[in-house]
Chain A
Amino acid sequence: MMKYVEEYRGAREAHRYAQALRSLVTRPWTLMEVCGGQTHAIVRFGIDQLLPPGLTLLHGPGCPVCVTPVALVDKALAIASRPGVLFCSFGDMLRVPGSEKDLLSAKAAGADVRIVYSPMDALALAERMPERQVVFFAVGFETTAPASAMAVHEARRRGLRNFSLLSAHVLVPPAMEAILASPGRRVDGFLAAGHVCTIMGTETYQPLVRAYRVPIVATGFEPVDLLQGIHMCVAQLEEGRADVENQYARAVRTAGNAPAQAMLHEVFEVVPRAWRGIGPIPASGLGLRDRYADWDAERKFRVAEVGGREDSECQSGQVLRGLLKPPECPAFGTRCTPETPLGATMVSSEGACAAYYRYRRSIGPCASTSP
C-alpha cells in the first residue's frame, strides 16, 4: 500500500511545487483547506513553512468530530449509560467533551463503550449479541455516511432490531457556503476534501463556484497532493478564474460514486444541523428517513430533549470558520490542552487546535512558571 503513498511524499517533488508557487504568486491570497486530515498533514509535514510569504492557509470546518454538537455528544452519553446498551464509536469521538464528561469517562464509570472501525463491525456485534442494544455513533461527512447507511439498510434486511444509529453525519458544501456567506470572509479559494469528492464527485461544488466566484480544487492528503492543489488554486486566482478543478484525479471522478450516493439517499434525508462552535446550518445534516425510524437511536431511546451547552470560553467556532488560528485563542495551551480540552478541536485527531498543540509548540526549555 505504501508504494502508492510514498511517491506523494517525496521531498524533491514537494520542493518543486513550492518553488513554482514562489514564481506564481504576485499578491497575497488566502486559501482554506476544508478537511481536518489535510490540516494535520500541513502542520505535520511543515507544508505551510514551504509557502511564499503572503500565501496563507486557513483551517476549515472539515473535522466531523469537531463539529458534532455538544447536544449530540450528550445524547450519546445518555444512551451509552443505559443498562444493556453496547455503544460503538470511532476512536476519536471518545475523548470529545460533552457538557460534563466524555465517552471515555462514561466507559470508566461502567458504560460498555467500544471502538469499532466500521459501522458494519457494530452491526456484527448486534448480530452476535441479540440480548444487547447495539448503538453506533455515526459521525463523519459524505465519506463515512454511505457505510452507515449500508449498516442500517442491512439491519433492516436481516431483521436486526437491536441495532440503531445515532446520526451525526454532516454535509460539506453547506458549511463551505456558510463560510462564503459570512461577513468578514477571508477565503479566496478552497482546497476541497479529496475523499468527500470520491463519493460526491466534483460536480457538487459547481453551484458554489458560480454563486461566489471562488476557485475550488478537489485535493488529496499527501504533501505533494496539497502543494499541487494549492498551486492549481493560486493559478486560478492569478488568472482571475473560478472553476472546480480536480487535483486528486487518481481517486475522484466528476460524478462521484453513484452506488454510494444511492445508498445515502435510500436511508438518509437532508436535515438542518447545528455545528459545534458554528451554530445551525440549514440542510447540512443527514437524518434517518421515517421508514428507518426503528433503527434511529434518537427516536428509539427518546433522547430528543437531551441537549448540552458549549463552553463559552471555547473559540473553536472561530477556528473552524477560519477567523482565528489556534494559537491566537487566549485559552490555547493554557486552560485548553488535550488533557483539559474546552472544545473538540483540541481533542479530535483531526482538530486544528490539536495539530498546532502537537506539532507546533515551540521547541524550547521548560519554563519555571506553571501554565
Chain B
Amino acid sequence: MRIDIPLSCPVPLKHSTVQLAHGGGGRLMRQLIEEVFLEPLPASPLMERHDSAVVPLGAERLALTTDSYVVTPRFFPGGDIGRLAVYGTVNDLAMAGARPLYLSAGFILEEGLALEELRRVVASLREAARECGVRLVTGDTKVVDRGKADGLFLNTTGVGRVPSGRSVHPLRVRPGDVVLVSGDVGRHGIAVLSVREGIAFETPIQSDCAPLTPLVEALFDAGVDVHCLRDTTRGGLASALNEIALDGGVGLVLEESAVPVDEGVEGACELLGLDPLYVACEGRMVAFVPAPQAEAALKALRGHPLGAGAARIGRVTEAHPGQVSLRTRLGGHRLLDLLSGEQLPRIC
C-alpha cells in the first residue's frame, strides 16, 4: 500500500524550546536551520548548504567552515575530542574539494576540569593538525562556572584553498551518477555509545575518525570528475544522502546489500534496535561520480588504507527528486527517510 503525502516538505516547528532532537541531523534539525538561521541570515554562501562555504579572494577561492565538538565521553575507542575537532573541520573543507591550510581552536572550559585532561586533548589536537598538514594559527579560551558546560566544548574553524578547476557541490549531481562510500559505516556512533552507556561488545568497536583529505586528493589525482562529496557524520549515511537528494534536487536509489557494515557494528545495532545507516561516522564519505568513471574512482579510493573498504552503493535517478529509496535485500523498495530526531534505542 502506498500513499501520496508530500512529507519532505517542511512542517511547522512544534516545539517552543530547543530539544535534543534539533541536533540530531534529521528533519527537526533541517527545520531549525531553515526557519531560525537561514531566514534572518540570508548570506549567499551560507545558502549553498555545503559542508564549507567557498568564497572568492582575488583570483583564489577559499573554503571556510566552522564546527563545534561536544562529544561525551571526550576519550573513546579510536579517538578523542581533540582529534575529532581537527578531522571534522578538515573533512568539511575536503568535502568542498579544498586543501586545508589554517585552523583556529576555541575552548570553552568548565571550572573544575582537570588540567591533565586538557593537556591530553591539546596534545591530541596538535598531533592531528600535524598529521593533516594544517597550521593551528589562533585560538580562544573561556572558562565558565561549574555546571555551565560539560567539562570541555571545543570549536574549530578551518580555512582551505580550492585548487582551480575543482567544483564539488550538491548542485553538480546528475542523474546517472554513481554513489560510492569510502568504507563501512556506523563505527563512530557505536564506539562512542559503547563507552558512554557502558555496553560491552564481544569485539570492541573502534571509531573510524580519520582525515578524508588523502582520499579526496586520490580521486582528483586519478582524474575523476568528482561531482559531489559529503562526509557521513551526524545522522549517518542515510541523512547525508537525504541532504544531497534534497539540496541537489535529485532522486537516489541505494542498494541495501551493497552498503558495507562491520559485523560488530551490525550486531550492536541489532541488539540496540538502531539502524546502522543512521549511525554516525567520522572518517567516511560518499562520493558522487559519473558512471563511466566509477571503477577508476573505486580503484583510487581502495588504493589508500582509509578507503580500502570503498564500495559502490547506489545511483542517482531523475525520478523522485529529493528522495532516497532503498532496494532491500529481498528485492523490494522502501523509502530511506530523514529521521524526525535522534534514533532512540528500542525497548525489546
Contacts and interface: CB of A to CB of B under 8 A. Distances in A.
Interface in A303-353: 325, 327, 332-334, 337-340, 349-350
Contact of A46 (B11, B321, B332, B347): B332
8 contacts: A92-B346, A108-B15, A108-B18, A117-B199, A358-B337, A359-B334, A359-B337, A367-B4
B346 A362 contact: no
Closest 9 pairs (CB-CB, A-B):
A46-B332, A91-B344, A1-B267, A367-B6, A338-B340, A333-B5, A91-B345, A90-B347, A359-B334
B31 to A, nearest CB: 8
A92 B263 CA distance: 25
Q: Which of B19, B28, B251 has the most CB of A within 10 A?
A: B19
A362 B347 CA distance: 28
A334 B198 CA distance: 40
A101 B32 CA distance: 20
Interface stretch (B63-71, B216-224, B270-278): B270-278
A363 interface: yes
B346 A91 contact: yes
A31 B329 CA distance: 24
A94 interface: yes
Q: Which of B7, B19, B266, B347 has the most CB of A within 10 A?
A: B347
Given A349-B273, A349-B344, A366-B8, 5 more contacts: A46-B328, A46-B332, A362-B5, A363-B325, A371-B5
Interface stretch (A22-30, A139-147, A270-278, A283-291): A139-147
A64 interface: yes
Interface of B: 1-11, 14-15, 17-21, 27-28, 197-199, 202, 251, 263, 266-267, 270-273, 319-323, 325, 328-335, 337, 340-341, 344-348
A104 B335 contact: no
Contact of B1 (A94, A325, A365, A367): A325
A95 B340 CA distance: 11
A195 interface: yes
Given A105-B15, A362-B3, A90 B334 contact: no
A104 to B, nearest CB: 6
Contacts of B321: 365-366
A364 B202 CA distance: 42
Contacts of B5: 332-334, 361-362, 371
Contacts, number: 163
A332 B3 contact: yes
A44 B337 contact: no
Given A1-B270, A2-B270, A333-B7, A365 B322 contact: yes
A363 to B, nearest CB: 5
A1 B6 contact: no
Given A45-B330, A117-B199, A361-B337, A366 B9 contact: yes
A1 B15 CA distance: 40
Contact of B332 (A37, A45, A92): A45
B62 to A, nearest CB: 34
A177 to B, nearest CB: 22
A370 B9 CA distance: 7
B265 to A, nearest CB: 10
Contacts of B27: 339
B340 A339 contact: yes
A11 B266 contact: no
Interface string A253-278: 00000000000000000000000000
A297 B329 CA distance: 45
B270 A44 contact: no
Given A350-B347, A365-B322, A360 B335 contact: yes
Contacts of A361: 2-3, 5, 7, 335, 337
A181 interface: no
B272 A340 contact: no
A155 B27 CA distance: 41
Interface in A90-134: 90-95, 104-105, 107-109, 115, 117, 121
Given A369-B6, A370-B9, A2 B337 contact: no
A182 interface: no
Contacts of B334: 43-44, 46, 359-360
Q: Which of A5, A9, A339 has the most CB of B within 10 A?
A: A339
A47 B344 CA distance: 25
Contacts of A108: 15, 17-20
Contacts of A14: 330
A332 B346 CA distance: 23
Nearest to A333: B5
Given A11-B330, A50-B330, A365 B347 contact: no
Given A44-B334, A359-B334, A337 B11 contact: yes
Interface string A179-209: 0000000000000000100000000000000
Interface in A6-51: 9, 11, 14-15, 37, 43-47, 49-50
A13 B118 CA distance: 55
A132 B271 CA distance: 30
A363 B1 contact: no
A369 B117 CA distance: 53
Contacts of A72: none
A130 B272 CA distance: 28
Contact of A92 (B328, B340, B345): B345
A188 to B, nearest CB: 20
Contacts of A334: 5
A46 B330 contact: yes
A65 interface: yes
